[in-house]
Amino acid sequence: MFFLLDKGGRTGELTAVREEMLTAHAPAEHRVVAVPDPPRDRDPDDYEAEVRRWHRARVDALHTAITANLAPGETGGFLVWGDPALYDSTLRILAQLADDADGGVTIEVVPGVTSASALTAAHGIVAHGIGEPVLTTTGRRLAQTPDGADLNQIVMLDSHLAFRETAAPDDIVHWGAYVGTDHQILVSGRVADVTDEIVASRAAARERHGWVMDIYLLQRAR
């Protein structure tokens, strides 16, 4: 039994991708239950409190779906985009569900390919100079990266392309949208040379598909 959190609307394409994968790889007798994702305020006054409220609503929605569809001893699966260790609440939700079930639920994680790895593979690059660290962060946090920690940054969840505010003209950006899919777009170069192209590609792609997921590696000029 696979549970899909369905965000509805035009991101239904993401649900379709998951269903195709299940058709291709899961045992024929598998079943799928789409669970409507509870609505979320994307621009709340208190971001952390809204995320906590939303997580609780998701736990409750999944709890209802699991109770209705899964008998004791059966296994439920959750397909996670990329790897669940990065910017994904599935494991927090399942931990909460397991907590509520008081030991009656066991969780096993199968590792996935994160979009960070998909990005560097698509560009055919190493994410850092020899022995250097890499910071993974979000667009919301990019401006808070301390000097010295910003040599190599992988930036996710950035609909505003925040590097336009933080990067120097000679810094290098390796950007990718829909990485690993048929719609993949890649752009890389000096910030001064490619920013306009990234902004335009992102806007056009979003218009075309109704949604966009993009990620970039930002490297300080050496």
Ligand X SMILES: C[S@@+](CC[C@H](N)C(=O)[O-])C[C@H]1O[C@@H](n2cnc3c(N)ncnc32)[C@H](O)[C@@H]1O
Contact between residue 151 and residue 220 where contact means Cβ atoms under 8 Å apart: yes
- Residue 157 lies near ligand X (rule: CB under 6 A): yes
- Residue 177 lies near ligand X (rule: CB under 6 A): yes
* Residue the block writes with tokens 């059966």: 74
- Nearer residue to ligand X within complex by CB, 40 or 70: 40
Query: Which residues within the stretch 91-130 sit at the binding site for ligand X (CB under 6 A)?
Result: 114-115, 118
The torsion of the CA quartet 41, 46, 48, 54, rounded to 10 degrees, works out to -30
Among 86, 105, 134, 194, interactor with ligand X by CB under 6 A = 86
Q: Which two tokens stand for residue 148?
A: 């010295």
Among 3, 58, 65, 82, interactor with ligand X by CB under 6 A = 82
Could you give the count of Cα atoms lying within 13 Å of 215 in the half-sphere of its Cβ? 23
Q: Which stretch binds ligand X (CB under 6 A): 5-13, 20-28, 48-56, 178-186?
A: 178-186
User: Which value, in Å, is the radius of gyration of the alpha carbons in the chain?
Assistant: 19
Among 4, 94, 215, 217, interactor with ligand X by CB under 6 A = 215
- Residue 83 lies near ligand X (rule: CB under 6 A): yes
Listed in sequence order, the residues at least 6 apart from 102 whose beta carbon sits closer than 8 Å to its beta carbon are none
Contacting residues toward ligand X, per CB under 6 A: 81-83, 86-88, 114-115, 118, 156-157, 176-181, 213-215
